[in-house]
Structure 1
Amino acid sequence: MSGSVEVRQFLLRYEGGDPAGVPTQRSGQADAPRVSDDQVRRARLAVAAGATDAQDCAQLLDMLGLVPDEEGVNPVQR
């Protein structure tokens, strides 16, 4: 159990949060790392593997921003 507490404290320090409280909110888009095409592909595969059926998969992909818009850009990559 102490291992998970140590990991959480490390992650909070890495994200700039307070180990005793809630991590701080990122200031803007400049701080946010870009999502690669490979990450999108792997996320889609993970969603498909966990979905109960095709409709569930489509809804989850849409909610997560993994469905390309009219311009062919995934919302998660904007």
Structure 2
Amino acid sequence: MNRMIEYRGFEIHVELTSAAQDVFDVTVQIKGSENVQVLGARANSVKLRNGPFTERWAYLVGEVAGHAAIDVLLGSED
């Protein structure tokens, strides 16, 4: 199951894979934006730790992790 969230000119791709009945592992990948060159080869997907999560939590955790990664690259929006 996949979801894409746009944030600050980037796309956060969240992918869920079934770990057991009704719980999922989460993988996040950040794509896009021409304003940051640092992504380059680092734009691989990352499996998030401390799972598995229920579907709702899995998407939330993936989105928040993506937001945090982008904020680290660009600096936080105050």
User: More relative contact order in 1 or in 2 (CA 8 Å, sep 6+)?
Assistant: 2
Normalising to structure 2: TM-score of the pair? 0.29
Higher strand share goes to which structure? 2
